[in-house]
Amino acid sequence: MTLQININNQYSFKDSIADVLDICYTNLKNGYTQETKQQCAIMINLCKNILKTVPSNYNDFIRNYTLVFGIMFRGIIDFCDICNITHKTKWNEDHKKIEKTWVLMCDCNDRIALSIDYYESSLLNWILCEMTTIKNEFNNAFGNSLYFSPEIINIKPKCNICQLDCRACIHLAGNIYDGKLCRFIPEDVSVVSTSIVFEPCDPVVEFGHGI
């Protein structure tokens, strides 16, 4: 598929992305995960090129949405990888596949949930529903999960947008500024203890199922 994207026109840019998502949706519904992954990889490269070419502070809309689309296509690739593992029989008897699926699920959920805050799409809603189904299958098969939850003393959290102490800056973690996702970088960190909990901040740090 040849894609023409006019980044100087917001509506045309969003429409082009909607066309690609429609194709991905049809392919995924038919089980064509390889084709979807290839299409998403092309889109991720395109997004990287746009972010390289459109200068900072030149066009906030394009830079912010380009980042969201890049994250979104990465989340769709995660979803394809999950499908490829879980569609095979006995995948849930292989410890490595179970672990890999769990990490992919957490990444996919984060990426698609962030994208859907900025861009409505039936495909994204469908993926989130499918994720919930797979998560329920996990819980049915292995019981409730337990997670490691470290207690961290973060002496100096730095903002990755302005490089200042985040407690003194105007940026909000999880928001996008000029094509960059704001997150706080912990500095001078000390881990004082680790707990095992049912409801973690970060579900990737899973300790075990059905314990």
Question: Contact 147/197 with Cβ under 8 angstroms?
Answer: yes
Residue 112 C-beta: closest distance to Zn ion, Å: 26
Q: How many CB atoms lie within 10 A of CB 138?
A: 21
The closest of 145, 170, 146, 168 to 157, measured between CA atoms, is: 168
Nearer to Zn ion, 53 or 175 (CB): 175
Residue 42 C-beta: closest distance to Zn ion, Å: 33
> What residues line the site for Zn ion (CB under 5 A)?
159, 161-162, 169, 171
Residue with tokens 């996919």: 108
Nearer to Zn ion, 157 or 203 (CB): 157
Residue 64 C-beta: closest distance to Zn ion, Å: 16
Nearer to Zn ion, 14 or 171 (CB): 171
Residues 143-163 as b/e (b if ≥16 CB within 10 A, e otherwise) read eebbbebeeeeeeebbbebee
Q: Is 63 helix (H, G, I), strand (E, B) or coil?
A: helix
Residue 60 C-beta: closest distance to Zn ion, Å: 16
Nearer to Zn ion, 41 or 170 (CB): 170
Residue 154 C-beta: closest distance to Zn ion, Å: 15
Nearer to Zn ion, 57 or 89 (CB): 57
Residues 192-207 as b/e (b if ≥16 CB within 10 A, e otherwise) read eeeeeeeebeebeebe
